[in-house]
A and B are shown apart, each in its own frame.
Chain A
Amino acid sequence: MVMKRALAILTILLIGYWIALALSHVPFGADKMLVGQYYLNHVKAQTGAVNAVTAVVVNYRGFDTLGEVTVLFIASTGVAALLWRKKRKRTAKTEGSVVLTTGSRLLFPFIVLFGGYIFIHGHLTPGGGFPGGATIATAFLMLYLAFSVYEIPHKGFEITEGLAGMGYVTVGLIGLAIGSYFLFDWIWQSWGWGHSNIGRLFSAGFIPVIYTIIGIKVGTELSGIVDSMVKEGGE
């Protein structure tokens, strides 16, 4: 046991030395941008978004993000499939106290509203679909923790999730039909909507649309993961 631990520490020190050796050629805080500088120079003209991170996630690398959302969908489906039992129910024994239940009932709409705000304003402020969806999922997590019998409306969530996934692909396919490639920004480049109000809500082409779709999808999928892991199978 001591032998194994010493060997592990030796290996880790060796790997750490290699990483430090490699990182000593990458100075901290220096300007190392190549593609990033191009994105920063052209982000307002090409996408209309003020937040460059959002433009990279949704516009320049939109196909990559579609793949990420697919991975999320597969992971959520895998959790649900591996934990599938005949009879599954909540097994919480104690009810939440009055303060807890009343407080979470009051806070729930505001947390969902805040999540919606985050993903609708993704092209203007920090945030976007992924943190917004995670915030919405935390709202449902709070309901699960506060009420011992609560369950999400499964049918509605499944339909919403499927529609959101189809919506992402549909927006991309409309881009393919109008422009030249999949996920072409047709609202910004072909229709030219919002060129006059960069920095306001109605700008940035299809970025708010896609980020709303991503937020809904992430929120429903993470809520589904929480639901699958909370409920235990009966005998």
Chain B
Amino acid sequence: MTSCVQCIEYLMVFIMIAAAVFAVEWRDLLAAVVGMAAVSLVASILFFFLQAPDVAMTEAAIGAAMSAAVFIFAIKRTQRYETEEEEKPGWWVRW
């Protein structure tokens, strides 16, 4: 029973870190913001595991909806792609 719960915890933390790495490395800023929202969403599930339902609700409403929306409005008014000359994303996300 406990081992199963721990499996879910490990899986969630792994998904969260992977989403964070993608959010940092993706050149498309819109995709990066979606990765950031995924980090917030998984973090809210982890808050729920850590017996903090108040924080989980706040994080789900703010981190996954409001924060991503604010970023997307900013991207709409600026530019969508990172324009960094001669720098490619790291080899671990270049497929």
Contact = CB atoms under 8 A, between A and B. Distances in A.
Check whether chain A touches chain B (CB < 8 angstroms): yes
Given A126-B53, A134-B58, A134-B62, A1 B86 contact: yes
Contact of A135 (B56, B61, B74): B61
Grouping DSSP codes into helix (H, G, I), strand (E, B) and loop, the A interface class, with mixed when no group exceeds half, is helix
A138 B70 contact: no
A131 B57 CA distance: 6
Interface in B18-72: 53-54, 56-58, 61-62, 65-66, 69-70
Given A1-B87, A229-B74, A232-B77, A137 B66 contact: yes
B58 A130 contact: yes
- Counting chain B residues whose Cβ lies within 8 A of the other chain, the interface size class is 10 to 19
Contacts of B73: 226, 229-230
Given A137-B66, A222-B66, A126 B57 contact: yes
A127 B57 contact: yes
A167 B92 CA distance: 54
A118 interface: yes
Interface of B: 53-54, 56-58, 61-62, 65-66, 69-70, 73-74, 77, 86-87
A51 B53 CA distance: 11
Interface of A: 1, 51, 53-54, 118, 126-128, 130-131, 134-135, 137-138, 141, 222, 225-226, 229-230, 232
Nearest to B65: A138
Contacts of A131: 54, 57-58, 61-62
A134 B56 CA distance: 13
Given A1-B87, A53-B54, A134 B66 contact: yes
Contacts of A128: 54
Closest 4 CB pairs of A and B: A126-B53, A134-B61, A229-B73, A131-B58
Q: Of B56, B66, B87, which is in contact with the most chain A CB atoms at under 10 Å from its CB?
A: B66
Nearest to A141: B69
Contacts of A230: 73
B87 A141 contact: no
A51 B57 CA distance: 14
Contacts of A54: 54
A134 B67 CA distance: 11
A226 B70 contact: yes
Nearest to A57: B54
Given A54-B54, A134-B61, A226-B70, 12 more contacts: A1-B86, A1-B87, A51-B54, A126-B57, A128-B54, A131-B54, A131-B57, A131-B58, A134-B66, A135-B61, A141-B66, A141-B69
